[in-house]
Amino acid sequence: MPLMRVLEPLLDPTLVEDTFACRRGKGTHAAMARAREYTRRYPYFLKCDIRKYFPSIPHVRLAMQLAGRLREATVRGMIAEILASHAAAEEQV
């Protein structure tokens, strides 16, 4: 079972409307249309760099929050494996 099939119904309702990545019915084109709408409406902007955001969040806390919402041990195991692989990759850099 793809992980997103399990996570999407749990997480999607908690996201703000302007979250476009990896969401059904959204994507690059929708994000660009929204950005165009904002640039026409507002005369100012924010330049922001969110690089390395995922490594900066506490992965143990994220795993605990997700585990509290997931019943399937296999899904919790997949998430733990993903988080652990990311930590291992960061250590190699």
pLDDT more than 90, % of the chain: 28
pTM over 0.75: no
Residue type, 40: R
- Confidence check: pLDDT of 76 > 80: yes
Residue recorded with tokens 């979250």: 19
Provide the 8-state DSSP code for 25.
Answer: T
pLDDT tens digits along 8-52? 888 899 999 999 988 888 999 999 999 999 999 998 877 777 778
What is the C-alpha to C-alpha distance for residues 83 and 31, in angstroms, rounded to an integer?
A: 27
DSSP H stretches of helix in the chain: 3-11, 28-41, 53-56, 59-67, 73-92
pLDDT of residue 89: 63
- Confidence check: pLDDT of 88 > 70: no
Cβ atoms 78, 3 nearer than 8 A: yes
